[in-house]
Amino acid sequence: MIRSSAGFDLTPIDAGKRAEMAQGLSAEVRHVLFEHGTEPPFCGGLLHEQGDGTFVCALCGLPLFRSAAKFESGTGWPSFWEPFAPDHIHEIRDASHGMVRTEIRCARCDSHLGHVFSDGPAPTGRRYCLNSAALRFQRATS
């Protein structure tokens, strides 16, 4: 088992297990996670989520972002200035659509999450721009 800096299992999930886990997902979620799709701006179900909790991968449940790191970027997608743990996110060069960006994927299941940009707020200066379809919100328990 591969453990993250935060103590979570990062052992890669094989293609068969990914397919099994995806069976209950909607077509939109599968399109975002597996085909690197993007939901339209200002339409995602988690854009306005302000609760206390953790945003996790829609496929494998790995914690990706804490609600305390969420901010309003005005871009139309949920945005965060810092991941739950740095090793929970993989960054990959993305030269699609006639531009160069940095794609972010779940470190455990390799699902597409969104992109990261260097125009975010202090203290990191990063803006992790996520598709709501790539996430589930787990409210903190008291």
| Cβ atoms 23, 72 nearer than 8 A | no
Q: Max alpha carbon distance in the chain (Å)? A: 47
What would the two tokens of residue 99 be? 């531009």
| Cβ atoms 140, 54 nearer than 8 A | yes
Q: Which of 57, 60, 106, 129 is catalytic?
A: 129
Q: Give the DSSP letter string of 2-28.
A: PBPTTS-B-PPPPHHHHHHHHTTS-HH
To the query of whether residue 129 is one of the catalytic residues in this protein, the response is: yes
Q: Which residue has the tokens 């709501």?
A: 132
CA distance 138 to 49: 11
What would the two tokens of residue 1 be? 């088992």
Catalytically annotated residues: 129
